[in-house]
């Protein structure tokens, strides 16, 4: 074994109920390298990293650190071996301060808060992290929380830090900052493993890339030898680059009847006098940078948020004024909102797929209906699992056991079961693998072809351009530009979003 190798796995296999999550995977991590793990959801990336972090144990195979065979049985054991993992959903205690979180698990018999704060301050400064140690973690943004997670890993003298989808909830500016942090860690000799669905990030940041597919390793190679098409090809075993974002739209759907009109909608400070229309039989893409008020505007439409009480503007659905203060009447009126944050707002993770989908449907029931039917729930669940090709061990599988892509399909099914006229997809493919993205895009296109009014809110320009018939660009709380998909270019859209 080369001295350069810090951590390696040989023939790593993990079985769940006899089904392999990873199957005979060989993986090695060099000192001070950034190693990206990519693959479709369910390919085995998370399991592989969880094995390294001691969260799950191998069924077969070996793991070595510095040439010594190890088998961490818990995250604590892995941490003692110098391996720390930063999870997609951060593991900080939101009611405690940054400093308390940093030293959590390392407390002495007697702890002086002042001492902890000073130590945390010095440590954070040494990392050049702009985080106030006395701040409560719950009040921090996603990027700062991630900084605290990273700082905690470094504080624990981690030689290997594993990131699971680190950039999924970060703004473009925060992403840039995160990349700098990772490069800085690399300079300090820390080895980084990170899982990302954003292939550009893997290409930009990683030294080497490993592609997993169907629980097996497909390839490991230097990042410089990859391009997007090669990664996608390796991930899915088929050429998706031409069907997904590679081909420019040459035709657009003609607008049908006006389904939604928002006039001078206000919700300070996020939505400012926003006016827009959405038409049937078309996909209306809404692009904007973070803070542009896109999500908030459509959450007002769907009754998830409330507009300003005084002079808050008007919403018309099928040319009739509506004001939904809660989502249920909006659902009954034919508005479905597919959330961008599926884990928090999208489903009950410990409930079954069928139950979740049925719960979506119950929102459409008249409020007088008190009894729900398990048989009906199972029937509806089976129907949508088949329709949307949701891949699970069985109908009774809990949503938490599904991959990100399949979880997203459950959220979509939950909304489509309501038979809406207007469907608002907010970041429909965030944290979703390439294969599932294609399926979700096909579904969105099919809905528009069926005459539904479809809104797609996305921060990913190629997705907006690939899906939309007309593109609305939002900036500082209002729509500032409308482009036909035929005339739109990335430059034009971005120009409108920034200037």
Whether cis (ω within 30° of 0) applies to the bond prior to 229 is no
Tokens for 89, please give them. 């959903």
Contact 21, 402 (CB under 8 A): no
From 257, 290, 344, 372, residue interacting with another protein (rule: CB under 8 A): 257
Contact 208, 29 (CB under 8 A): no
Contact 451, 461 (CB under 8 A): no
Q: Which of these segments, 34-42, 174-182, 234-242, 271-279, binds another protein (CB under 8 A)?
A: 271-279
**476 near another protein (CB under 8 A):** no
Going from the C-alpha of 57 to that of each of 12, 22, 26, 31, 54, the distances in angstroms are: 10, 11, 16, 23, 7
Output the smallest distance, CB 255 to another protein, in A: 5
Residue 368 C-beta-side C-alpha neighbours within 13 Å: 0
From 312, 327, 329, 451, residue interacting with another protein (rule: CB under 8 A): 312
Tell me whether residue 285 or residue 360 sits nearer to another protein (CB atom): 285
**479 near another protein (CB under 8 A):** yes
Q: Which of these segments, 34-42, 152-160, 306-314, 353-361, binds another protein (CB under 8 A)?
A: 306-314
**472 near another protein (CB under 8 A):** yes
Tell me whether residue 6 or residue 455 sits nearer to another protein (CB atom): 455
Contact 323, 306 (CB under 8 A): no
In angstroms, the CA 240 to CA 365 distance is: 40
Tell me whether residue 318 or residue 332 sits nearer to another protein (CB atom): 318
**421 near another protein (CB under 8 A):** no
Tokens for 213, please give them. 């597919």
From 156, 186, 230, 258, residue interacting with another protein (rule: CB under 8 A): 258
From 13, 64, 220, 275, residue interacting with another protein (rule: CB under 8 A): 275
**322 near another protein (CB under 8 A):** no
How many residues line the site for another protein (CB under 8 A)? 26
Which residues, including other chains, have CB under 8 Å from residue 169's CB and lie 6 or more apart? 142
Output the smallest distance, CB 261 to another protein, in A: 6
Output the smallest distance, CB 472 to another protein, in A: 8
Q: How many residues does the chain have?
A: 499
In angstroms, the CA 447 to CA 468 distance is: 12
Output the smallest distance, CB 103 to another protein, in A: 51
**309 near another protein (CB under 8 A):** yes
Output the smallest distance, CB 482 to another protein, in A: 5
- Phi first, then psi: what are they for 101, rounded to 5°? -65, -40
Q: Which of these segments, 85-93, 308-316, 390-398, 409-417, binds another protein (CB under 8 A)?
A: 308-316
Q: Which of these segments, 29-37, 43-51, 259-267, 290-298, binds another protein (CB under 8 A)?
A: 259-267
**Distance of alpha carbon 189 from the chain centroid:** 29
DSSP annotation string for 158-219 = -SEEEEESTTTT--HHHHHHHHHHHHHHHHTT-EEEEE-S-HHHHHHH-SEEEEEETTEEEE
State the SS3 of 62-95: EEEECCEEECCCCHHHHHHCCEEEECCCCCCCCC
From 52, 199, 203, 276, residue interacting with another protein (rule: CB under 8 A): 276
Q: Which of these segments, 5-13, 36-44, 157-165, 253-261, binds another protein (CB under 8 A)?
A: 253-261
From 88, 263, 378, 476, residue interacting with another protein (rule: CB under 8 A): 263
From 15, 168, 482, 494, residue interacting with another protein (rule: CB under 8 A): 482
Binding site for another protein (CB under 8 A): 252, 254-258, 261, 263-264, 275-277, 279, 309-314, 316, 319, 323, 470, 472, 479, 482
């Amino acid at each position: 074994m080369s001295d350069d190798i810090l951590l390696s796995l040989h023939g790593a296999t993990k079985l769940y109920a006899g089904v392999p999550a990873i199957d005979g995977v060989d993986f090695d991590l060099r000192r001070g390298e950034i190693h990206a793990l990519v693959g479709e959801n369910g390919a085995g990336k998370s399991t592989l990293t969880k094995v390294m972090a001691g969260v799950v144990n191998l069924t077969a195979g070996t793991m070595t650190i510095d040439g010594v065979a190890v088998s961490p049985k818990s995250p604590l054991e892995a941490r003692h071996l110098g391996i720390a993992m930063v999870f997609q959903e951060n593991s900080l205690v939101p009611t405690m301060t940054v400093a308390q979180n940093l030293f959590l698990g390392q407390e002495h018999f007697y702890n002086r808060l002042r001492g902890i704060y000073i130590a945390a301050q010095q440590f954070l400064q040494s990392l050049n992290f702009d985080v106030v140690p006395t701040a409560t973690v719950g009040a921090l943004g996603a990027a700062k929380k991630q900084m605290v997670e990273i700082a905690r890993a470094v504080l624990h003298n981690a030689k290997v830090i594993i990131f699971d989808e680190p950039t999924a909830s970060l703004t473009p500016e925060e992403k840039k900052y995160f990349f700098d942090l990772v490069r800085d860690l690399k300079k300090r000799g820390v080895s980084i493993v990170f899982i990302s669905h954003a292939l550009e990030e893997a290409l930009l940041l990683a030294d080497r890339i490993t592609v997993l597919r169907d629980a097996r390793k497909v390839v490991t190679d230097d990042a410089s030898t990859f391009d997007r098409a090669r990664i996608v090809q390796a991930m899915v075993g088929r050429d998706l680059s031409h069907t997904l974002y590679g081909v420019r739209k040459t035709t657009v759907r003609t607008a049908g009847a006006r389904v939604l009109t928002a006039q001078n909608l206000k919700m300070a400070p996020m939505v400012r006098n926003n006016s827009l229309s959405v038409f049937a039989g078309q996909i209306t893409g809404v692009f904007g940078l973070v803070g542009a008020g896109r999500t908030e505007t459509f959450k007002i439409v769907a009754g998830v948020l409330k507009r300003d009480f005084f002079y808050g503007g008007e919403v018309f659905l099928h040319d009739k004024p509506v004001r939904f203060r809660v989502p249920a009447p909006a659902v009954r009126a034919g508005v479905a909102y597919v959330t961008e944050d599926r884990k928090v707002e999208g489903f009950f993770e410990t409930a079954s797929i069928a139950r979740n989908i049925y719960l979506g449907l119950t929102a459409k029931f008249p409020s007088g209906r008190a009894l729900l039917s398990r048989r009906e729930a199972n029937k509806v669940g089976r129907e949508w699992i088949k329709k949307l090709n949701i891949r699970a061990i069985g109908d009774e599988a809990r949503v938490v056991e599904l991959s990100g892509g399949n979880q997203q399909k459950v959220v979509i099914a939950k909304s489509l079961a309501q038979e809406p006229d207007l469907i608002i997809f907010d970041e429909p493919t965030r944290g979703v693998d390439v294969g599932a993205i294609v399926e979700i895009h096909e579904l969105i296109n099919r809905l528009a072809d069926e005459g539904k009014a479809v809104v797609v809110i996305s921060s990913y320009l190629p997705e907006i351009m690939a899906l939309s018939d007309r593109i609305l660009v939002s900036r500082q709380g209002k729509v500032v530009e409308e482009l036909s998909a035929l005339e739109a270019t990335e430059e034009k859209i971005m120009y409108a979003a920034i200037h």
